[in-house]
Chains A and B, each alone.
Chain A
């Protein structure tokens, strides 16, 4: 039954029956919505009622480029997303190295479970946990004697890094696992010190895995507005602005064109990461 040749009419019919419903759903509900999103970025709103009217305007996209507010928010969001990514990589790489190369087989399994379980704990609860940790009467303020920096952009970076840490650890762990022992032995036999082996042999092989993890940490940070609202104080990221335009200002076309910014940033990031071979590691 393996790899049915689609040349046979029966197999082709069965394939069509299998693919039809899921593709119909994803193409109509998902890609269709994405197309509407792109289109509606060029729609206008009725000045009196605020209702969306499908009349072409380039004003929404122009506002993105000309309004300094949006430029600042975009810049801040990208910087936060990159900061989160770097922080996660720094924390995750040694953990993944230990899990893959030092831990005993039984400990490995336990460690993977231990890293994965928090991924499935409620996102909202995890963000809330940091609100509790950083609150003015909370544990962090108690530990530092009241010198905790509290809510703000720093809290956003730390909380987002906490939220996405497993997304970085797991692919990097898999990356370390793929490095063949023979290469490391060959390097050692040829007289390389361990630091040299790590730098010259392991690092280039693991870099695509770090890049793969960074796609998640970067992309998830770019669109976040819930955690930002919970621990960010007055900090505004792209997600908050998009949400505000849709819900508070009731300007759906402007919200749609604003949401093209994280979309574009992710596409650019994916293209950049593709050169490292990250996409084969996802």
Chain B
């Protein structure tokens, strides 16, 4: 229909290109600015320099925060991988009362604003569990991250289970395999791509999270986003912040393109 109207077609193409330019120009600018010789990052850049990259490589604060982020991300991803897959199996392979409620509960932590989840966890951890010896730290950050990462694994595994259907598992059972053998020899190998994609995306989400982290980390633990936010308004740290931001922009593309290649549901995981 629209293909028959060249005017509208061209207008839509121009609009789409404009939208994509809008999406990518700010990100490109961050990368460009990390090489900007001007200390105040005036535009247009006054020259090209690698000084800030060298300074960032030696910034112990940023490197330490990076380590914390990696540990929190790996632990949260491991928990989400186990719990998310279990929930996906239950919802996709069984019919039971309250199935939709389970799906809803899994999605809820990513649908509500982070600040609500953050304040809720903070209230529980400090007011309720504080008196019995719980202190905010990397452990509480991991609990918070795992809670909203479950949905990412769940969505990827559930989508794959739905697409696969049950014929492979039925064939295996007909050939005399026990449910245990079928699970490990048939189902898990078929799911490997979805599991890896889910894990990559869950890690990416955890790595980037700042709001829930703010309310669960306490004063001593700094993840990379918390470090960036803490240094964003300090003019003398601006060059290092620029480089870290550029690195994060470039690094973000890796898990997404890997997950995409593995057939992960990159678009559907978060929406």
User: How far apart are the CA atoms of A115 and B270 in the complex, in Å?
Assistant: 13
**Chain A at the B interface: mostly helix, strand, loop or mixed?**
helix
Q: Which chain B residues lie closer than 8 Å to A137 at the CB level?
A: 40-43
Residues of chain A at interface, number, CB under 8 A:
100
A175 on the B face (CB < 8 A): no
Is the beta-carbon distance between A242 and B170 smaller than 8 angstroms? Answer: no
Q: A113-B260, A135-B41 are in contact. Are A22 and B106 (CB under 8 A)?
A: yes
Is the beta-carbon distance between A124 and B147 smaller than 8 angstroms? Answer: no
Which among A115, A141, A262 is the interface contact of B23 at CB below 8 angstroms? Answer: A115
In this complex, the member of A26, A115, A142 whose beta carbon has the largest number of chain B beta carbons within 10 angstroms is A26
Cβ proximity bits A36-49 to B, threshold 8 Å, 1 near / 0 not: 11001001000000
Is the beta-carbon distance between B86 and A18 smaller than 8 angstroms? Answer: yes
Is the beta-carbon distance between B93 and A165 smaller than 8 angstroms? Answer: no
B199 on the A face (CB < 8 A): no
- Closest residue to B167 on the A side, CB-wise? A2
Q: Which chain B residues lie closer than 8 Å to A243 at the CB level?
A: 115, 214
In this complex, the member of A6, A18, A242 whose beta carbon has the largest number of chain B beta carbons within 10 angstroms is A18
A214 on the B face (CB < 8 A): no
B184 on the A face (CB < 8 A): no
Report A272 CB to chain B, min CB distance, Å: 15
Q: Which chain B residues lie closer than 8 Å to A14 at the CB level?
A: 179
B134 on the A face (CB < 8 A): no
Q: Which chain A residues lie closer than 8 Å to B89 at the CB level?
A: 18
Q: A2-B166, A21-B86, A94-B15 are in contact. Are A129 and B108 (CB under 8 A)?
A: no
Cβ proximity bits A117-153 to B, threshold 8 Å, 1 near / 0 not: 1111111111011111101011101100000000000
Is the beta-carbon distance between A122 and B41 smaller than 8 angstroms? Answer: no
Q: A129-B26, A129-B29, A239-B115 are in contact. Are A32 and B124 (CB under 8 A)?
A: yes
Report A199 CB to chain B, min CB distance, Å: 13
Is the beta-carbon distance between A252 and B26 smaller than 8 angstroms? Answer: no
**Chain B at the A interface: mostly helix, strand, loop or mixed?**
helix
B102 on the A face (CB < 8 A): yes
Report B79 CB to chain A, min CB distance, Å: 8
Q: Which chain B residues lie closer than 8 Å to A133 at the CB level?
A: 26, 29
In this complex, the member of B16, B182, B256 whose beta carbon has the largest number of chain A beta carbons within 10 angstroms is B16
- Closest residue to B19 on the A side, CB-wise? A95
Cβ proximity bits B32-60 to A, threshold 8 Å, 1 near / 0 not: 01000000111110000000000000000
Is the beta-carbon distance between A15 and B13 smaller than 8 angstroms? Answer: no
Q: Which chain B residues lie closer than 8 Å to A131 at the CB level?
A: 232
Which among A15, A97, A120 is the interface contact of B201 at CB below 8 angstroms? Answer: A120
Is the beta-carbon distance between A194 and B150 smaller than 8 angstroms? Answer: no
A33 on the B face (CB < 8 A): yes
Q: A113-B260, A226-B210 are in contact. Are A98 and B113 (CB under 8 A)?
A: no
Is the beta-carbon distance between A165 and B147 smaller than 8 angstroms? Answer: no
User: How far apart are the CA atoms of A142 and B42 in the complex, in Å?
Assistant: 9
Q: A33-B123, A37-B119 are in contact. Are A162 and B20 (CB under 8 A)?
A: no
A157 on the B face (CB < 8 A): no
Q: Which chain B residues lie closer than 8 Å to A111 at the CB level?
A: 16, 20
- Closest residue to A53 on the B side, CB-wise? B127
Is the beta-carbon distance between B43 and A139 smaller than 8 angstroms? Answer: yes
Q: Which chain A residues lie closer than 8 Å to B249 at the CB level?
A: 121-122, 125
Q: Which chain A residues lie closer than 8 Å to B42 at the CB level?
A: 137-138
- Closest residue to A266 on the B side, CB-wise? B112
A249 on the B face (CB < 8 A): no
Is the beta-carbon distance between A117 and B16 smaller than 8 angstroms? Answer: no
Is the beta-carbon distance between B271 and A170 smaller than 8 angstroms? Answer: yes
Q: Which chain A residues lie closer than 8 Å to B4 at the CB level?
A: 194
Report B131 CB to chain A, min CB distance, Å: 10
B188 on the A face (CB < 8 A): no
Q: A125-B248, A132-B33 are in contact. Are A29 and B26 (CB under 8 A)?
A: no
B211 on the A face (CB < 8 A): yes
Leading 4 A-B pairs by shortest Cβ distance? A223-B113, A129-B26, A37-B120, A2-B166
